[in-house]
Amino acid sequence: MTNKKNKLFVFFFSLIPGAGEMYLGFYKTGASVMTLFLGGVALGASLFPPLFYLTPVVWFFSFFHTNNLNTMADEEFYALEDDYLFHMEPARLRRLVVIYRKPLACVMILMGLSVLWRHLWVAFNHVSKWFPIPHVLVSFLEYWVLSIPRLAAAFLIIWMGVKLIRQKKDSLDE
C-alpha cells in the first residue's frame, strides 16, 4: 500500500531520479526510472555520448512525477498501481533477452572493448612520453582511438534498427 509522505522529504528524495517514487511506495516505477537514468549516464559517459544528453529529461520526469504524485487527491493517489515504467514484467523482459541475446551480447562486448580500448590508449600515452613519437602521429591516433568505439556503437544501433524494421515488414507480410 502506497502512502503520501512529508512534502519536504518528498522534495529531497525527488532530487534523485527514482528515489522519490520509491519513497512514496512506487518501487517498480522508481526502480525503472533509476535504472533508466543510471543506464543513460553509464552508456553516455562510456560508449555513446549523445545518450548522455537524454538524462536530464529522465531527471525532470522523475522530479515532476514524484511531486505530482504527492500532490494528488487521496482517492486518485490510492487508486494508482505500481508498475514498471515501460510495463516490462520480469517474465517479458526475460523473453526479450532470449530473443535479442545476440544483439545484447554485441552491445556488452562493444562496451567492454570500448573500456579496454580507452585503458590501452592511456597506457600508450604514458609509453609515448618515454619514446619520441611525432605529435602529428599521436594526434591522428588519438582521434581514431576515441572515434572507433563510437563508430562501432553507431553501426550497431543502425544494424539493430534495420533488423527491427525488417522484422516488422516480415510480420506485416505474413
CB 40 within 8 A of CB 52: yes
| Residue 76 CB neighbours (<10 A) | 9
Share the mean pLDDT of the chain: 80
Q: Pick the more confident residue, 94 or 19.
A: 19
144-157 average pLDDT score: 77
pTM: 0.58
Of 29, 14, 108, 133, nearest to 66 by C-alpha is 14
pLDDT tens column, 95-106: 877 887 887 787
What's the pLDDT at 161? 79
pLDDT tens column, 59-74: 999 999 998 888 888 8
CB 50 within 8 A of CB 40: no
DSSP string, 109-140: HHHHHHHHHHHHHHHHHHHHHHS---HHHHHH
